Structure 1
Amino acid sequence: MIRLLQRSCFQVPSKMVYLQTHSGKSKAVPFTRVLAILPNSQLFRQVPASITKAKGFHSSCCSWKKKKPPEPAPRELDLLRYDMKFLKDSPKPALYLSFAALIPFVSVPLLMAIQEVFYPELVFAQIAYGASVVSFLGGIRWGFALPEGSPAKPDWINLANSVVPSLIAWIALLFHDDLTQAGIMVVMGLGIALHYDLALLPTYPSWFKALRAILTIVAASSLVASLLIINTFPERRLTYKASEVELSK
């Protein structure tokens, strides 16, 4: 019995032990004291085999320290978030056609910068081309959401948001007398379409999202360059040359 009591005292996680006898009375005694008085205790002489069970309780103070939350995994750079590493997986036709579509954007400000003049006809042609591209980007969402089994559902979010770029492109063409306002609208349309495709509706393949990011950056930068040329270089119209030829005849 003494060995059983010693084993139970050592197994409890506290410093106090409840001892209960047949008489129904219980007493809390430190287990170190119980071990010291076991051989000569008057209590155990009177009831040498009357101990039925030993209960332990915790007497340590509560720990109020909050556990530190696990540290989040290191986030990648913003450009890596657009899956730039998957650009090499782009299909060849999509890659070649996409970069060829940048020629009208880049050639207009490059030509005006070389000649150091501002051609309003060329700038309007660039803005009209950009408006058609913005409208095309909105139509891609319809074509991606309508087929059965597509990860994008034909719900209000997908279809309604795909109409927004087309409306922005239409409003941009209404500002044909103010090329600065029209250019700003097209740049906004390109940015909104990119935000929809990458953040709000991220269901496109990784290579397409990377390609979309590159094309949007180059196209928007070309439009901004044309808007800067408008306020920098003198204006010259292409129709002047035709009128001069007629007058010379």
Structure 2
Amino acid sequence: MFHLLKRYYFQGPSKMAYLQILLKPRSRAACSFVPLQCVLTGLPKSQLFRHTSPGLTKAQGFHSSCCNWKKKKPPEPEPRELDLLRYDMKSLKDAPKPALYLSFAGLIPFVSVPLLMAIQETSYPELVFAQTAYGASILSFLGGIRWGFALPEGSPAKPDWINLANSIVPSLLAWIALLCKDYIFHAGIMVIMGLGIALHYDLALLPTYPSWFKALRALVTIVAVCSLVATLFIVNICPEKHLGHATNKVED
């Protein structure tokens, strides 16, 4: 039986040549795609190459390379230009003396109101409204600074929509705070939000002011916001008393 199969399948030189092609080491990758029936059944040469061409294409298109397992170092972050503690606070000593004195003097209405109410352990609505109105006026002043800085020729700040439109936002918040005079707590929150937004504009969104001015703005804003927070805290925990009633009792 074996001799019959050998005589039937391997008779003729052409089929032996096909077998030699399959057994060559250089064509093993390509011949692995060739069906064995093509050789054993004695397919014509054209059909044999038609079956082997996809395998040869895959073998030729296959590419292997060594994987680079070495991790690349992440790029070092650039130094922050707006890092207030590292850059701007050091420039506070370069601030002009009039700017320092006037800015610190402008904190007296903020600090004096909660200090006086804390000493007397009494909440005075008139003083709270006076502090809120003063904060609203400061907000309008901060918005006007941006206009005065952007309008002159040669200024690093351009009089575009970003500079001029954002300068109006603190004034609008100040106006809303004054409209809430019957709701002191809401008015104080509005002023605090306005001071925070104005500081964000000057330090991050519109960073064209001198370094000493940005440091001064940050320091003054922090003190003003803390004073307003202290006032709202005293309003919630201390009994309320009007200044008119206290004056009448002193006269009696």
The answer, yes or no, to whether TM exceeds 0.5 is yes
Change beyond 3 A, Cα 1:205–1:185 = same
1:139 maps to amino acid:
G
1:243 is displaced (CA, Å) by 3.6
Q: Which residue of 2 aligns with 1:18?
A: none
- Counterpart CA distance in 1 for 2:228 and 2:124 is 14
Match of 2:223 among 218, 221, 227: 218
In structure 1, the partner of 2:245 is: 240
Specify every segment of 5 or more residues in structure 2 that has no aligned partner in the other structure, as ranges.
1-63
2:119 to 101, 114, 118: 114
Question: Where does residue 190 of structure 1 map in the other structure?
Answer: 195
Aligned residue for 1:231, secondary structure, equals helix
Contact 1:82 1:209 in 2 (8 A): no
2:127 maps to a residue whose letter is L
5+ long unaligned stretches in structure 1: 1-59
Q: What TM-score, normalized to structure 1?
A: 0.71
CA distance in 2, matches of 1:245, 1:231: 26
CA 1:141–1:66: 2 relative to 1, 3 Å: farther
Give, in angstroms, the shift of residue 74 of structure 1: 7.8
Q: After the TM superposition, which of the residue ranges 137-146 and 68-77 deviates more from structure 2?
A: 68-77
**Per-residue Cα deviation, 1:142-162 (whole angstroms, up to 9, x for no partner):** 000000000000000000000
**Aligned equivalent of 1:64:** 68
Aligned-pair identity in percent equals 76
For 2:133, the equivalent position in structure 1 comes to 128
> Matched residues in 1 for 2:226 and 2:199: separation?
14
How high is the TM-score relative to the length of structure 2? 0.70
SS in 1 for 2:181: coil
| Larger CA Rg, structure 1 vs 2 | 2
SS in 2 for 1:149: coil
Q: 1:141, 1:110 → 2: CA distance?
A: 32
Q: CA deviation at 1:69?
A: 3.5
Which contiguous aligned blocks of 4+ residues in structure 1 show a shift greater than 6 angstroms? none
| Structure 2 match to 1:158 | 163
Q: CA deviation at 1:68?
A: 1.0
Tell me the C-alpha RMSD between the 2 structures: 2.2
Query: Aligned residue pairs: how many?
Result: 189
State the distance in 2 between where 1:214 and 1:82 align.
14
**Partner SS, residue 68 of structure 1:** coil
Structure in which a larger fraction of residues adopt strand: 1
In structure 2, what is the equivalent of residue 172 of structure 1? 177
Partner of 1:10: none
Equivalent residue letter for 2:156 = P
Q: Given residue 115 of structure 1, which amino acid in structure 2 is its aligned partner?
A: Q
- The one-letter amino acid paired with 1:72 is E
